[in-house]
Amino acid sequence: SLYRKAHYQGSAYTLSQLPPDKGMEVAFAGRSNVGKSSAINTITGIGGLARTSKTPGRTQMINFFQLDARRYLVDLPGYGYAKVPEAVKQQWQQTLSAYLEQRRALCGIVLVVDIRRLYQPFDLQMLAWCRSRELPVRILLTKSDKLKRGAANQALQKATAHLQEVLPTARVQLFSAVNRMGVEAIQAQLGGWFGL
């Protein structure tokens, strides 16, 4: 499969450290500790590929994972982690927004959202930005294992309805890194974006 040979390729703190802007990449965005890195590990089936942690702020750089000669997954630092110094935070935010605005290889965004905390201000900001850049976005309602099936479906409906007002072209799905719910669906979306 596409993920069989996935491996860590490198990290960037600053724009100048980014790998060359070629090929295709899909970036995982979302609030701190929401489960971005866990989603990458679950989707690729490679535990420990992206570092995960119970402590928010684990991912502090833009991390690149190579799938094949021209396709990458990108693990972005979580937004909203309060415990880093203000100067560091500003540096990340600048790097992150420049990456999102300028990166030509970027062909899709996976916005990871905690199913129990739908659409926080950062999520809406990301959606507005994806809309203005006309970048395809897939929303993962993650940690769906934390809710019973009925409640999870209710959250999915609510998330879908709200999206109609914000970004109707985006798609939402349930996801869980614990019971692997929704893995095939997001893999199919990634395949589509990657032209497979």
Q: Does 59 bind Mg ion (CB under 5 A)?
A: yes
The contact set with ligand GTP (CB under 6 A) reads 30, 32-38, 52-54, 56-59, 78, 142-143, 145-146, 176-178
Task: Report what 66 binds from ligand GTP, Mg ion, none; CB cut-off 5-8 Å by kind.
Answer: none
Residue nearest to ligand GTP (CB): 78
Closer to ligand GTP by Cβ: residue 68 or 89: 89
Closer to Mg ion by Cβ: residue 30 or 182: 30
Task: Report what 145 binds from ligand GTP, Mg ion, none; CB cut-off 5-8 Å by kind.
Answer: ligand GTP
Residues constituting the chain: 196
Task: Report what 35 binds from Mg ion, ligand GTP, none; CB cut-off 5-8 Å by kind.
Answer: ligand GTP
* Minimum CB distance to ligand GTP, residue 132 (Å): 24
Closer to Mg ion by Cβ: residue 37 or 173: 37
* Minimum CB distance to ligand GTP, residue 146 (Å): 5
DSSP letters for 95-136? HHHHHHHH-SSEEEEEEEEETTS---HHHHHHHHHHHHHT--
Helix, strand, coil: what percent of the chain each, to 5? 40, 25, 40
Q: How far, in Å, CA of 174 to CA of 113, rounded? A: 10
Q: Across-strand partners of 118?
A: none
- Output phi, psi for 27, to 5 deg: -105, 140
* Minimum CB distance to Mg ion, residue 196 (Å): 25
- Output phi, psi for 171, to 5 deg: -115, 145
Q: At what angle do helices 183-193 and 36-44 cross, to 10 degrees?
A: 90
Q: Does 41 bind Mg ion (CB under 5 A)?
A: no
Distance of CA 184 to the CA centre of its chain: 16
Closer to Mg ion by Cβ: residue 37 or 142: 37
Name the site residues for Mg ion (rule: CB under 5 A): 36-37, 58-59
